[in-house]
Amino acid sequence: MSADFHISSGPSRRPHRLRRRAVATVAAALLLTPIAGASTASPRKPTLGDPSVISDWNVTALSTLLGDATKSPQEAQLYLAFVNAAMYDAVVGIDGRYQPYALHARAPRGASDQAAAVAAAHRILVTYSPSSRAGLDAHYAASLGQIPDGRAKTAGVTYGRLAADNLISRRANDGRNASVLFTKPPAPGVWRPTPPASMPMLVPWLGAVTPLLVRDGAQFGEPGPPPALTSRRYARDFAEVKALGSLSSTTRTADQTSTALFFSGNAFLQYNTALVDQARVRDLDFVDTTRMFAAVSMSITDALISVWRAKYLYGFWRPITAINLADTDANPATTADPTWVPLLTTPPYPDYVSGYSGVTGAFTRALAGALGTRHLNLTLISSAVPNVTRTYHTGTALDQDVINARIWLGIHFRFADTAGVAMGHDVANWALQHHFRPLRHH
């Protein structure tokens, strides 16, 4: 690890002792509370909840989090994963079928899985976006209003809150919002704030946050350094982005520009919208819908943490800086252009590895794993270009378009994009191998 990477991995994920006792007390109460009117015989398993409720709370969560002025888009994705983790534990704790994530308290028989999911999502959101409480409370009341009153509903709400509180406790002191600054001094190959805003690195602490699924950020977030400035590969990728990523490029085609702009917005909004569509067109039931959202959202978040670790650790300069200052890189195959600017304004964090590409790799691989198929048949919307949709039959096709798009936008070298997709794949592969697995007895 680089000597410049001075971020503590943070304390253990275990909750504080008092919180752990409180969770255990509620869990014990749940186990001992019977459903009123139930006979001593084992009751029939309740009907599964409405899958659209999971999609609805994902849409609500993302809208709430992206509308929270105190959070960056990267933070919004982190908290969205918390929502899905809590809903997943609440649902599988009642319905079974898959291994739980973090909660291992048995739910009372007959508890409403739908009420549990609603309560879990609401609890997470009001905890982490308290300024949105009024709107969230109203949505919570309307969402619970779709469920008949009774002990099943009450037990479900209690269990959902338990799942959320357990997750909140688990995430205490996980490295979020730590006081961290990018401090590498400017030098050839080293990132520095880019024009026009010249902002400092955004959320530099993110790479040291405790992941949800993988062991730690270093597991996949230290892929090795980018190519040397004097290498042929660097010169080749430099020439590519200089020619095709310029705002005034004469070699980028209209189709390439269209692809670039399609992937120039908010990846989290784009892919969460695609998940809502996938749940609908695939006619997944309540449990599998919950699992799909959790597996994909949590994998994306762990990929994002891994990406940010690499960005902070290697601190590699962006194309705009590299091209403007190419006369300092000691590579005779590169030529400086002090006036060069990219098609898209460069975001305020280092190049290597690409975040959008890492998120995409995690999205395609986790979705394929959760669905058990490589034939994704995805319908995507652009969050940057209104009324434009694209269809992707495979994750490979989507991965490749995103790799190219970020070059054609002028904000990444190809090696940063390919490394990002590979990192996303690695995170998702590991996550699906170790989590969200079917219960043997189910």
Task: Report pLDDT digits (tens) over 256-268.
Answer: 999 999 999 999 9
Provide the residue type at 190 as one letter.
V
**Same domain as 260, residue 149:** no
Contact between 23 and 166 under an 8 Å Cβ cutoff? The reply is yes
**Same domain as 379, residue 314:** yes
**Same domain as 149, residue 56:** yes
Domain end point (choices 147, 170, 193): 170
Provide the residue type at 21 as one letter.
R
Domain containing residue 118: CATH number: 1.20.144
Contact between 205 and 7 under an 8 Å Cβ cutoff? The reply is yes
What pLDDT shows up at residue 207? 98
Q: Is 339 left (phi over 0), alpha (psi -120 to 50) or beta?
A: alpha
**Same domain as 256, residue 110:** no
Q: Is 176 a domain residue? A: no
Contact between 314 and 372 under an 8 Å Cβ cutoff? The reply is no
Can you say how many angstroms the Cα of residue 104 is from the centroid of all Cα atoms in its chain?
Answer: 24
**Which helix (DSSP H) or strand (DSSP E) does residue 56 occupy?**
helix 52-66
**Same domain as 282, residue 157:** no
379 Cβ contact partners less than 8 Å away, ≥ 6 residues apart? 274, 277, 281, 389, 390, 391
Q: Is 1 a domain residue? A: no
Q: Is 4 a domain residue? A: no
Domain that holds residue 101: 17-170
Task: For Cα atoms 183, 218, 178, give the angle at the middle one, nearest 5 degrees.
Answer: 45
Q: Is 186 a domain residue? A: no
Q: What is the dihedral of CA 63, 57, 300, 436, to 10 degrees?
A: 170
Show the 3-state SS of 167-202. HHHHCCCCCCCCCCCCCCCCCCCECCCCCCCCCCCC
Q: Please report which residue ranges of 222-324 form alpha helices under DSSP H.
A: 232-244, 254-262, 267-281, 286-314, 319-324
- For residue 434, give the 3-state DSSP assignment: helix
Token pair listed for 44? 């029939």
Give CA–CA dist 217/183, Å, rounded.
Answer: 20
Can you say how many angstroms the Cα of residue 429 is from the centroid of all Cα atoms in its chain?
Answer: 15
Give CA–CA dist 274/382, Å, rounded.
Answer: 10
Q: Is 208 a domain residue? A: yes
What pLDDT shows up at residue 440? 80
Domain containing residue 314: CATH number: 1.10.606.20
**Same domain as 266, residue 414:** yes
Q: Is 190 a domain residue? A: no
**Same domain as 142, residue 267:** no
Domain end point (choices 127, 146, 170): 170
**Same domain as 145, residue 45:** yes
Q: Is 7 a domain residue? A: no
**Same domain as 255, residue 389:** yes
Per-residue DSSP letter, 132: G
**Same domain as 146, residue 231:** no
**Which helix (DSSP H) or strand (DSSP E) does residue 380 occupy?**
strand 375-381
Give CA–CA dist 302/309, Å, rounded.
Answer: 11
Give CA–CA dist 295/150, Å, rounded.
Answer: 31
Angle between helices 286-314 and 52-66 (to 10 degrees): 30
What pLDDT shows up at residue 442? 57
Question: In the chain, how many domains are there?
Answer: 2
Give CA–CA dist 273/394, Å, rounded.
Answer: 17
Domain end point (choices 125, 146, 170): 170
Q: Is 46 left (phi over 0), alpha (psi -120 to 50) or beta?
A: beta
**Same domain as 118, residue 218:** no
Tens-place pLDDT, residues 220-239: 999 999 999 999 999 999 99
Q: Is 184 a domain residue? A: no
Contact between 368 and 395 under an 8 Å Cβ cutoff? The reply is yes
What pLDDT shows up at residue 7? 31
Give CA–CA dist 132/122, Å, rounded.
Answer: 11
Q: Mark the ranges of the chain whose per-residue pLDDT is less than 70.
A: 1-46, 441-442
**Same domain as 163, residue 209:** no
